[in-house]
Amino acid sequence: MPNVAVIGAQWGDEGKGKVVDWLASRADIVVRFQGGHNAGHTLVVGNQTYKLSLLPSGLVRGKLGIIGNGVVVDPWALLAEIARVQSQGLRVPPDMLRVADNAILILPLHGALDRAREAARGDARIGTTGRGIGPAYEDKVGRRAIRACDLAEPETLSAKLDELLLHHNTLLRGLGAETFEKQALLDSLLEIAPKILPYVEPVWERLDAARRDGRRILFEGAQAAMLDVDHGTYPFVTSSNTVAATAASGSGMGPSAVGFVLGIAKAYTTRVGSGPFPSELHDETGRQLGERGHEFGTVTGRPRRCGWFDAAMVRQAVKVGGIQGLALTKLDVLDGLDQLQICTGYTIAGARFAHLPAAPGAQAAALPIYETIDGWRDSTRGARSWADLPAQAIKYVRRIEELVEAPVTLLSTSPERDDTIMVRDPFQG
């Protein structure tokens, strides 16, 4: 049986948490492989709602969760999240959660720099969460980052903080922000080390053994393909690679271990923060989609921008992300609309484009080319088979398949985990 990698096929917030939770019943291990606590997954299980940022969603299913080396980890945020879900009755002991020893740590100075930069940008701000993810990734490639394994070596921590503070305090002073003292940071890291280190190990060894034993591994992506630092709407992107290829490098496994790539897409489109959004709606329909879909960021609480399904964008995500099948979510939000529109391409300065170009000016100028399709009156909410769906809803799904050049393998019709139509089990390849 192949492993499965789940990635977003739009700008995030597509409902990956529910899909990963649903697929985790068929998996043995769930791995987060990129991003930080700027991503959020909401899981509704009976009368409990779990809001996860760093913890792999499979923990709710009682499956082993692994935070891979591609994730940047705020250790204080991780412990707070563990405490929060444990207060809801979910156990997260070290034998259920493992953290890569070579994962980069986010420190308070990273968040301070993130927020100071956004403030300095003014109206040109990118729309980051201000949680330090970008600066932490910068330190990683700058070879000055503190990693989880460093918590076990106080002398290493002390030496690394000297270099880190030389870099960050210079930037913070230049931005007019408060600087950090070494001893206070060192003390806080040494205080938290005994709480984090029981979770830390070289996870690549565990994953290699699991692969050899034929255990099923589910790779859980954060954000989405169009927020990928290389392939997304740069610079309005996240600071990591979000495509499925990162599941290998971000967990310590070879590319052949990734298996089936499942892309998650809403039946419409949303985006949080700044950046181009050709199919965005600023009218009553856009407001209605936001209200029906409860479109607020899991992490930030910010209202999401809403618009029609952008097939051209998802088609691009399918190609660069290696997506082999789609999980289409929130189909029920479109119930009762007389007509729907699907963006099939763009016009930019009078020229037609089948995909968004890389240049930011062209992205900002892109206008959608729409195809209109009739809506449906009957409800799709809670449907668990094709027979439960209105014929026009099925037509809408089939048209999306044609336009994005990928089959819909899962269909979600409510936040409840069992309100899912499975066309093809991703673990069957």
Catalytic: 425? no
| Average pLDDT over every residue of 325-334 | 96
pLDDT of residue 136: 97
- Where residue 266 falls (left for φ over 0; alpha for ψ -120 to 50; beta otherwise) is beta
Domain 266-428 CATH (choose: 3.40.190.290, 3.30.499.10, 3.90.170.10, 3.30.530.20): 3.90.170.10
Domain at 104-196, CATH class: mainly alpha
How wide is the angle at C-alpha 98 spanned by C-alphas 82 and 89, nearest 5°?
30
Specify the length of the chain in residues.
429
How wide is the angle at C-alpha 223 spanned by C-alphas 333 and 70, nearest 5°?
155
pLDDT of residue 44: 74
Catalytic residue among 37, 41, 168, 231, which? 41
pLDDT of residue 123: 81
Say if residue 334 is exposed, middle or buried (CB neighbours under 10 Å; 0-12, 13-18, 19+): buried
Q: What are phi and psi of 381, to 5 degrees?
A: -65, 125
Catalytic: 374? no
The DSSP output letter for 10 is S
Q: Over the stretch 351-397, which tens digit does the pLDDT of each residue have?
A: 999 999 999 999 999 999 999 999 999 999 999 999 999 999 999 99
Report helix, strand or coil for 288: helix
| Average pLDDT over every residue of 317-329 | 96
Cα–Cα distance between 32 and 366 in angstroms, integer?
33
pLDDT of residue 122: 86
Say if residue 256 is exposed, middle or buried (CB neighbours under 10 Å; 0-12, 13-18, 19+): exposed
Dump strand ranges (E) for 147-279.
Answer: 200-201, 217-220, 260-266, 269-271
Classify strands 41-45 and 48-52 as parallel, antiparallel or unpaired.
Answer: antiparallel
Lowest mean pLDDT among 89-93, 136-140, 212-216, 415-419: 415-419
Say if residue 75 is exposed, middle or buried (CB neighbours under 10 Å; 0-12, 13-18, 19+): buried
Answer whether residue 64 shows pLDDT above 60: yes
Domain residue extents for the chain? 4-102+200-260, 104-196, 266-428
How wide is the angle at C-alpha 258 spanned by C-alphas 91 and 401, nearest 5°?
100
Answer whether residue 1 shows pLDDT above 60: no
Answer whether residue 69 shows pLDDT above 90: yes
pLDDT of residue 48: 82
Cα–Cα distance between 55 and 77 in angstroms, integer?
10
Asked if 41 and 57 count as a contact pair (C-beta separation under 8 A), the reply is: yes
* Model confidence band, residue 13 (pLDDT cutoffs 50, 70, 90): confident
| Average pLDDT over every residue of 184-203 | 98
pLDDT of residue 300: 64
Answer whether residue 43 shows pLDDT above 80: no
DSSP sequence for 144-174:
---BGGGGG-HHHHHHHHHHHHHHHHHHHHH
Within 10 Å of residue 392's Cβ, how many Cβ atoms?
A: 14
Round the average pLDDT of the chain to a whole number and report it: 93
Q: Over the stretch 227-265, which tens digit does the pLDDT of each residue have?
A: 999 999 999 999 999 999 999 999 999 999 999 999 999
pLDDT of residue 42: 76
Catalytic residue among 13, 139, 228, 310, which? 13
Cα–Cα distance between 316 and 353 in angstroms, integer?
12
pLDDT of residue 33: 96
Tokens 């890291």 -> residue: 189
pLDDT of residue 395: 97
Cα–Cα distance between 329 and 408 in angstroms, integer?
10
Instruction: List b or e across 266-305, with b for residues whose CB sees 16 or more CB atoms inside 10 angstroms.
Output: bbbbbbbbbbbbbbbbeeebbeebbebbebebbbbeeebb
| Average pLDDT over every residue of 197-218 | 96
Asked if 373 and 403 count as a contact pair (C-beta separation under 8 A), the reply is: no
The DSSP output letter for 314 is H
CATH fold of 4-102+200-260 reads Adenylosuccinate Synthetase; Chain A, domain 1 (3.40.440)
Q: Over the stretch 258-285, which tens digit does the pLDDT of each residue have?
A: 999 999 999 999 998 889 999 999 999 9
- Record the pTM: 0.92
Report helix, strand or coil for 114: helix
For residues 17, 232, 32, 253, the Cα torsion angle rounded to the nearest 10 degrees is: 140
pLDDT of residue 299: 62
| Average pLDDT over every residue of 78-88 | 95
Q: What are phi and psi of 200, to 5 degrees?
A: -95, 135
Answer whether residue 169 shows pLDDT above 90: yes
Cα four-point dihedral sign 151, 156, 158, 162? negative
Candidates 279, 286, 349, 287; CA nearest to 314 is 279
Asked if 396 and 373 count as a contact pair (C-beta separation under 8 A), the reply is: yes
Lowest mean pLDDT among 292-306, 366-380, 407-421: 292-306
* Model confidence band, residue 302 (pLDDT cutoffs 50, 70, 90): confident
Cα–Cα distance between 57 and 39 in angstroms, integer?
12
* Model confidence band, residue 298 (pLDDT cutoffs 50, 70, 90): low
Q: Over the stretch 97-154, which tens digit does the pLDDT of each residue have?
A: 999 999 999 999 999 999 999 889 888 788 788 899 999 999 999 999 999 999 999 9
